[in-house]
Amino acid sequence: MSFGTYKEVMALKAKDGKIGGVAQDGGVVTTLLCYALEKGVIDGALVAGKSETPWMPKPTIATTKEEIIAAAGTKYTISPVVSTIKDAAREYGLEKIAVVGTPCQIYAVQKMRLYGVGARHIPDKVAMTVGIFCTENFSYAGLRTVIEDHCKVPIESVTKMEIGKGKFWVKGAKDVSIPIKETHKYEQDGCHVCSDLTAEFADISTGSIGTPDGWSTTFARSTRGKDLLSKAIADGLFEKKSMDEFKSAPDAKIKSGLDLLGNLEKGKKDKAKKHFDERKALGLFVTPEILY
Amino acid sequence: MGIMDSLRSMFGGKPKAAPEVKPEAKPVPKAPEVKAPEVKKEVAPKKEEVKVTKPKVAYVHLSGCTGCLVSLADTYEKLLDILGAVDMVYNLTLADARTLPEGKVDIAIVEGGVCLQDEESVHLIKETREKAGLVVAYGGCSATGNVLNFSRGGQWNQPQHESFVPINRLIKVDAYIPGCPPAPEVIYNFCIAAVTGDTEYLKPFMANEAGGYHCGCDLNTRVIENSLCMGCGTCAASCPTRAIEMVYGRPSFNNIRCIKCGACSFACPRTFLPVNKIKTLLV
């Protein structure tokens, strides 16, 4: 169990019913972004909004609460969020940009802050990075195959998707779940060398693993991340619990939420190592330091 | 060992005799982000006076548009840090020295590619290599050929001026900073890292693959083909001509729009990932 560097880990649940209704889990990302916008910590956020194609996310520059809330909920396919960062700074004239993304997108933004040769005057405009836990991602066609061929429901009818408890869940007119194993072959191959599950380079990272339904496991990693979180909690936006409250029975195989997260993290890191070695052996180029 | 010597050995050159210490030299301003042990070593001696030699820097302008120099100036007040940390001995745009100075300079920053039909340019880049301890190919034209790749000659009044090459075709280059132009922040980071001896930061710039011909095709040959692309969209944001569009989570690249600057593959987090440096951002 390492989870990268962090100052605090906690379980959070948004109190705002409006957000709770649309959020994937505890509504942490949506609530925090709305709060940061209201307090002037950010003046816009790069989020995964909706497009005309069902369940195909569209990288969106959100500058109002409505736009942020409209982007709530997980879309299990690729949303190239970093592609909009320059537009946010140029066309939208944003000075304090929040980026919400998966671990790989967070390290893309952080690399851009250090080595962004084509990112003039972007580094100082990244005000906040919010990372979402990620085990792997699917291509759009992959996701569609999983839903329409394996779950046997039309993608338009789906209102929520979830991965948890070893299953891929599809909710809507009909609730269906299939074993997660069935979906493995549709995973994006670029994910297989990724060794970051908990968005280790974000200011704040959050996700469902480790907490019960409706809650989010949340790490405050940097000072600015912790400041924002503490203020939001102090202003009564969240119900907060210690991670210790989610302990299983003493004889259970997995003792607590954090243990479960730790197991999955180790699984992802081990898998990345395995794929890294295999690709090297094949003579392919593999990103140095990707295993960190 | 002085900063320049350690830099030189880091870039693979031999350390030369210690450069003379100028009494009027001011201490190198401390960089806010990067603190290197070399600087501490310099500060450590028992003597009360801090003696740091400023590296002599020559800014060589070949077939470029001066946009790279403008980008350097776009560091605003931080430009004072950069200029304060070095001794700019040659820069046609900013100073009066007409030719490269006699004797050695420590660092030559080269903007622009070389026109093979222009004898003076070829001579200047050769002379630069002879005189400079380190040669930095600064900006797309110098590092990758950039838009000069499209030169075909046939224009008045030097219709024979048709072949333009990135400088590594003619001389050995120690570091490349691609981008058209490179972002001011990157230039600042590079300069401070070079002066303080932050080798870890400089490493990606010193990689051979950072220089020479580059193109949006790199995303195919270096990233997608190696099954590394995960669709973050950094390449699309980095492209100065919007030649890259993300389609179904992958870069779709418009060859006609690409100016061959090399920014996209350099910015891609799957070509190199500076994990240790990123950790320093998380405070």
Q: Work out the minimum CA distance from A244 to partner chain B, whole angstroms.
A: 26
> What does the pLDDT average to over A232-241?
97
Q: Using the beta-carbon criterion (under 8 Å), do B186 and A117 form an inter-chain contact? A: yes
User: Which residues from chain A sit within 8 angstroms of residue B262, using beta carbons?
Assistant: 117
The answer for B 22-61 residues in CB contact with A (under 8 A) is: none
Asked whether residue B251 carries a pLDDT value surpassing 70, the answer given is yes
Determine, for residues A118 and B238 on separate chains, whether the beta-carbon distance falls below 8 Å. yes
On whether both A175 and A226 belong to a single domain, the answer is no
Give how far B234 is from chain A: nearest CA, Å.
5
Q: Compute the distance between CA of residue A159 and CA of residue A54 in angstroms, rounded to an integer.
A: 10
Q: How confident is the model at residue B190 (pLDDT cuts 50, 70, 90)?
A: very high
Does residue B2 surpass a pLDDT of 70? no
Whether residues B246 and A80 touch (CB distance < 8 A) is answered with yes
Q: Are residues A23 and A75 in the same domain?
A: yes
Q: What is the pLDDT of residues A41-60, one digit of tens each?
A: 999 999 999 999 999 999 99
**pLDDT of B70 over the 80 cut:** yes
ipTM for this prediction:
0.94
> Is A116 close to B186, i.e. CB distance below 8 A?
yes
- pLDDT confidence of residue A252: 72
Does the pLDDT of residue B16 top 60, yes or no?
no
How much is the CA Rg of chain A, to the nearest whole Å?
19
pLDDT at B12: 57
Q: Is the pLDDT of residue A7 over 90?
A: yes
Its sign, for the CA torsion B252, B254, B257, B258, is positive
Contact B74 A203 (CB under 8 A): no
| In a domain? residue A64 | yes
Q: Does B240 touch chain A (CB under 8 A)?
A: yes
In angstroms, what separates the C-alpha of B154 from chain A's closest C-alpha? 32
User: Which pLDDT band, with edges at 50, 70 and 90, does B22 fall under?
Assistant: very low
Interface contacts A/B by beta carbons within 8 Å: 179
Of the two residues A253 and B277, the one the predictor is more confident about is B277
Give the per-residue pLDDT at A256: 83
Q: What is the mean pLDDT of chain B?
A: 88
Residues in B 110-129 with any Cβ partner in A closer than 8 A: none
Q: Among B239, B249, B267, select the one facing A112 at the smallest CB separation.
A: B267
The answer to whether position A229 is within a domain reads yes
CB contact under 8 A, A222 and B283: yes
In this prediction, residue B8 carries a pLDDT of: 60
- Residue B191 pLDDT > 80, yes or no? yes
* A146 and A267 co-located in one domain: no
| Residues 6 or more apart whose Cβ sits within 8 Å of residue B197 | B3, B6, B7, B10, B36, B37, B38, B39
Can you give the pLDDT at residue B5? Answer: 63
Q: Is B51 left (phi over 0), alpha (psi -120 to 50) or beta?
A: beta
Cα angle for residues A270, A271, A274 (degrees, 5° grid) = 90
Task: Tell whether A49 and A108 lie within a shared domain.
Answer: yes
**Closest-CA residue of chain A to B180:** A118
Q: Which of B74, B177, B250, B278 to mutate to test the interface with A (most CBs of A within 10 A)?
A: B278
- Chain B, residues 61-120, CB within 8 A of chain A, namely 71, 74
Q: What is the pLDDT of residues A146-182, one digit of tens each?
A: 999 999 999 999 999 999 888 999 999 889 999 999 9
Q: Which pLDDT value is given to residue B51? A: 61
Chain B residues in contact with A190 by the CB 8 A cut-off are 227-231, 270
Based on the fold, state whether residues A104 and A55 are members of the same structural domain. Answer: yes
CB of B52 within 8 A of CB of B3?
A: yes
Annotate A202-211 with b (16+ C-beta within 10 A) or e (fewer). Answer: bbbbbbbbbb
- Among the candidates A124, A155, A186, a domain finishes at A186
Domain containing residue A153: 138-186
Do residue A23 and residue A59 come from a single domain? Answer: yes
The Cα–Cα gap between A108 and B232 comes to 7
**Mean pLDDT (whole number) for A71-78:** 96
- The CATH number for A182's domain is 3.10.450.750
Answer with the one of A118, A153, A186 that is the final residue of a domain.
A186
Q: Are residues A131 and A142 in the same domain?
A: no
Distances in whole angstroms, Cα of residue A141 to Cα of each of A135, A136, A146, A174, A192 = 18, 15, 9, 21, 18
Last residue of a domain, one of A186, A204, A226: A186
Query: pLDDT band at B148, cuts 50/70/90?
Result: very high
**Global confidence as pTM:** 0.90
Q: Which residues of A touch B239 (CB under 8 A)?
A: 118
Task: Confirm or reject contact between B203 and chain A (CB < 8 A).
Answer: no
Domains identified in chain A, total number: 2
Q: Give the span between the Cα atoms of B105 and B89, in whole angstroms.
A: 8
Interchain CB distance below 8 Å, A112 and B237: yes
- Are A40 and A159 in a shared domain? no
Q: Are residue A195 and residue A207 in the same domain, yes or no?
A: yes
Contact (CB<8Å) B272/A140: no
A17, A104: one domain? yes
pLDDT of residue B19: 46
Q: Which of A5, A117, A291 to mutate to test the interface with B (most CBs of B within 10 A)?
A: A117
Q: Is residue A40 part of a domain?
A: yes
Cα A139 to Cα A56, A102, A104, A143, B12, distances in angstroms: 10, 14, 15, 6, 44
Beta carbons of A137 and A146 less than 8 angstroms apart: no
pLDDT at residue B9 in the model: 64
Question: Cβ separation of A78 and B270 shorter than 8 Å?
Answer: no
B202 in contact with A at a CB cutoff of 8 Å? no
